[in-house]
Chain A
Amino acid sequence: MIMKNNLLSLNQFFFIIIQTQIGIGVISLPYDLHQVSKQNGWISLIISIFLIQIIILIFWLMYNRFPTLNLYDMQMIIYGKWIGQSINFLYVLYFVFVGSLILILFSNLINLWVLPHTPYWVNMLFLLLSCVYLSSSHITVIGRIYTFLSTFFIILFVLLLNAIPELKIYYLFPIAKEGIMPILKGVNQSVLALLGFVVILFVLPVVKGTAKQKLKTMSGAIWFVGFFYLFVVFISFTFFSTEEIKVVPQPVLYLLKSFEFAVVSRIDLLFLTIWIMSVATSFSTFLYLASLGTMQLFKSKKRTKFVWVNATLIFLLVIVIDSKLITIQTYAKYVSNSGYIFSIALPILLYLVMLLLKKRHKEGHSS
């Protein structure tokens, strides 16, 4: 069955989670948060990290019941063949839609900031092709690449440190002057930015280590991402004034654009180059998950083939959406909100059904 050296190490597991979570959203997160909860967005972010901590705890409990199965397999066993397959099919659709959303937002941003004259599909095709190559590899290869690419986070972090002399803490105050409602609405926004943790349910069975170690690693990853986001939000909120951030949809890039090094005069472009890797990694994860699902649906062993199928699907979907059937904003809203169903509601439902039916792995109470 599963070979020892075909397993992910705990480190790789950690980086797969953070690379999937940190992606397209990080650049506009401060703006999105500020839209709904003003300068109190950081409180919403902290609340949502706690919420997600609870959810991944449930994921872990599910894993403890079926330590060798991923979400697709679990659903087949718990719900039976027909319902299980249809839910799995919905998951595949969801991943395909998320993938196309990432592609659209990515190429829009590149068009806006770097290459205004390049046709959008060219930008997409480059990202798509390199991600197809990445996600047709084995999960351990993906894990290794993600680990390597994560070293670039240090650069992102250091670049943002430039802004520190210009920060004005008083832009964060007064705290909660508009009451508690805007903060709660902000929780919605920040959960959306943190989506992607559902990948945990699919890779947990292929990670080396005891159940406890895994729980520590995944919680660590969630908090790492949470603190990184918090840092970004804090920097943007105190660099831009409360009125200014309302008109700056990509505050992180805008902030970096106002600095200049002796050698690099456009730091925002440097940031963008590194950020593209983060986008590519989260896109590859979704492509990987989609191909895993289709493989399950068609009872096939050749995943590479399905990576191509899904990639083509995604590309066609993007072309259709771009022909102005619906606006990107509404599409983004639908897709990211459906994340609640697939990342939170359905797994929790599955866990409740497990509890109700008292289902456990047949080999007994392992771990």
Chain B
Amino acid sequence: MKKIIVKLLTFIIILSMLTGCWDERPFKNAKIIVGVSFDQGKNENIESTVLIPTVQGGGIHSETEKLQTVTTEANTPLDVRNHLDIMVSNSIDPSKLQVILLGEELAKKDIYPILDVFYRNAYNNLNAMIAITEGSATEVINTQPANEANQSKYLVGIINAATNTTLYSGENLQMICAELFEPGEDFVLPYLSKSDENNSVRFSGLALFHDKNFTGEVIRHEDAVLLTLMDGHKGKQSRITRQIPKKKDYDVYNYVTIDVLKNKKDIKYQLDQNKITIDLNFSVRILEYPPNQLKEIKNIKELTKTLEEELTKEATSIIKKLQEANSDILSLGRKAQAYHYNEWKQMNWEKDYKNLEIIPNVKVTIKDIGIID
């Protein structure tokens, strides 16, 4: 009997301990924010808009998800939260944040103070996507196309689609952090812009960063695939469509579309001559080639050569753009420091990067031409 009572008492005590009263965070007391945008405010402060989803209705089929948007001005991102807390019922909870948009003007200044709070608090979601917007971020986050119910899902969807098609490396808030801190290494972020025609947002390229600032230079989305491949990332698909020397009058005939299956990169440093050679090896599959003459090896060789020339030319112009923006996306500086420390030490990478002669060299191997010749 005594044993049973002791056991029962311990059981009750343990049960009472399992409730965890101090740190409970019930969903009903919180306003989850799923998206946030930051812009340069009018008086040296920041303007911020948050997306708060609310579920209305009940039952299985009648639920509708609605997004409430709230805009406010404040001094720091956390101050924004203070301002928001007095504007909405319940308190703001950013732990399910999916997307962060930064306005162009704000990003040209230092972006770290904006992101600090997201890195610092253990509750925050480091898996969120971050993007730069053309013009005001508030406008982009408020854009809601007719067939999309949820802006944050829509924006994340755009970035994920870009990742799948190798327009963007898919790096989230945490992944860019290494490059944000490290000297001799820079990163890109998706550059989103609003198109007014049908009230939608489009992925219009990659915003180049240097150190912690947006340089103002953007790689157009046509070139984004090549840059992402050069950086060593590859999504599920990486389609590139390029013009070939004129074969027929009807213009649609004069293009080829390839899908890069494998990309290899080899960087050769000759820092004493201020020269870096980047060898890129692409194994490709032909997806679209209307001229239809791939039976003969001669034609394949010719096509390979055309592609190599075309892609090398483009890679050169991309690298020129990177150098003009002083943005070291390919981590050339950090790699030089790692593998060629003595030469690197004698240079002032920050200044010399612009004047380096960087020669890309694209080699294409056609592995697959599809099921017709």
- List the interface of chain A (C-beta within 8 A of B): 112-119, 122, 126, 166, 168, 170-174, 177, 239-244, 247, 254, 257-260, 265
Contacts and interface: CB of A to CB of B under 8 A. Distances in A.
Given A170-B338, A258-B127, A242 B20 contact: no
Contacts of B172: 258
B266 interface: no
A173 B370 CA distance: 43
Given A114-B23, A170-B331, A259-B127, A241 B174 contact: no
In the complex, the 9 A-B pairs of residues with the closest C-beta atoms, listed nearest first:
A258-B174, A173-B338, A241-B182, A241-B178, A243-B181, A174-B341, A170-B338, A244-B181, A117-B22
Given A118-B22, A258-B174, A241 B185 contact: yes
A305 to B, nearest CB: 18
B334 interface: yes
Interface string B167-209: 0000011110111111101000000000000000000000000
B371 interface: no
Given A115-B23, A118-B23, 14 more contacts: A113-B122, A114-B23, A116-B122, A118-B20, A168-B331, A173-B338, A174-B339, A177-B341, A241-B334, A257-B122, A258-B174, A259-B127, A265-B125, A265-B127
A336 B161 CA distance: 51
Nearest to A174: B341
A171 B23 contact: no
A168 B338 CA distance: 11
B337 interface: yes
Interface in B302-339: 331, 334-335, 337-339
B178 A244 contact: yes
B60 interface: no
B6 interface: no
Nearest to A247: B181
Nearest to A269: B122
Contacts of A114: 23, 122
11 contacts: A112-B122, A118-B22, A122-B22, A170-B331, A171-B178, A173-B337, A174-B341, A239-B178, A241-B182, A247-B181, A258-B126
Interface in B335-368: 335, 337-339, 341
Interface of B: 17, 20, 22-23, 122, 125-127, 172-175, 177-183, 185, 331, 334-335, 337-339, 341
Contacts of B125: 265
A114 B182 CA distance: 29
Contacts of A257: 122, 126, 174
Contacts of B331: 168, 170
A125 to B, nearest CB: 9
Contact of B335 (A170, A243, A260): A170
A126 B181 contact: no
A254 B174 CA distance: 9
A114 B126 CA distance: 15
A173 B125 CA distance: 30
A117 B122 CA distance: 13
A133 to B, nearest CB: 11
Nearest to B25: A117
Given A115-B22, A119-B22, A258 B175 contact: yes
A126 B183 CA distance: 44
Contact of A170 (B173, B183, B334): B334
B174 A242 contact: no
A260 B127 contact: yes
Contacts of A244: 177-178, 180-182
Given A170-B331, A173-B338, A258-B175, A115 B20 contact: yes
Given A117-B23, A244-B181, A171 B338 contact: yes
A42 to B, nearest CB: 15
A258 B173 contact: yes
Contacts of A174: 337-339, 341
Contacts of A177: 341
A168 B173 CA distance: 17
B178 A240 contact: yes
Contacts of A243: 181-183
A65 to B, nearest CB: 46
A255 B322 CA distance: 29
Contacts of A265: 125, 127
Contacts of B180: 244
